[in-house]
Amino acid sequence: MTNYDTRQETIDAIVRRISDLNEQSLTQLSQYISYLKWQEELWHSLVEDERVTDPDQALLWQFDFIEAFPAARKVATRTSQMMEIKVGMASCGLVQQMAIWEHPPVAGAAVCEYTVQIPPDINALKLRFAVGIRDGALMEGDNLCAFRIYVNGVRLWSTTKQSCKWERHIIDLPTLAGQEAVIQFITDGLGDNRWNWAVWGEPQLLGYGPKRHQSQKK
């Protein structure tokens, strides 16, 4: 049996099972398919970027901030009133994915801080993430939520947002090979934290280094 035949059999089996789903389940399935497509597109863009930049570089290491969330430090810069920092599924623009929820407090900012040991063989470091405001939020006018990323006390990225849809980003970080990196995800209501249902979608650190070529057989 060819790979095409196997693929077609899998698709046919999935279609048969879909036909038995109710309307609510079909809606959830549509959202999950959108999420999977988003993940595929993002991964392909990373691979293409890697090939264009340096064909001898490979992805050697990954750090998942959601998996490491229990060890993260969660604090407020001024008051913790109405601040919420947790991990869970988040829906933005009807696309669901795991995320860090970081609703800023009434005054000041919310900080979710990680200390990460970077492997010594990494010579390029990227941070992949999405930002969004969860569906149902009623932000309008001057009500904006600020998203910021600090590394070792230096702000490397920031934006403001009020729309309920995911925005994907990949940013370059200092290499920091063999060092500890203090990475902070910060949200700020900018004086009005109402409806600031801020979320960070599946943030990950990606470490690149020289490809590990297999020795040729004699």
The CATH number of the domain where 163 resides is what?
A: 2.60.120.200
Q: Which pLDDT value is given to residue 214?
A: 46
Distances (CA, A) of 119 to 146, 175, 181, 205, 212: 31, 10, 11, 12, 15
At position 35, the amino acid (one-letter code) is: Y
Position 30 in a domain: no
Q: Count how many domains the chain has.
A: 1
* Distance separating alpha carbons of residues 116 and 68, to the nearest angstrom: 10
Report the DSSP beta bridge partners of residue 192.
Answer: none
pLDDT band at 210, cuts 50/70/90? confident
Position 19 in a domain: no
pLDDT band at 211, cuts 50/70/90? confident
Q: Domain range holding 139?
A: 56-210
Q: What is the pLDDT of residues 104-142, one digit of tens each?
A: 999 999 999 999 999 999 999 999 999 999 999 999 999
Q: Which pLDDT value is given to residue 199?
A: 98
Q: What is the pLDDT of residues 42-101, one digit of tens each?
A: 655 555 554 445 667 788 999 999 999 999 999 999 999 999 999 999 999 988 999 999
Q: Which pLDDT value is given to residue 217?
A: 38
Q: Which pLDDT value is given to residue 51?
A: 46
With CA atoms as reference, report the closest residue to 90 among 183, 203, 205.
203
Compute the average pLDDT of residues 182-204: 97
Position 139 in a domain: yes
Backbone angles phi, psi at 52, to 5 degrees: -70, -45
Q: Which pLDDT value is given to residue 216?
A: 39
Q: What is the pLDDT of residues 11-28, one digit of tens each?
A: 888 888 888 888 888 877
| pTM of the full structure | 0.77
Position 14 in a domain: no
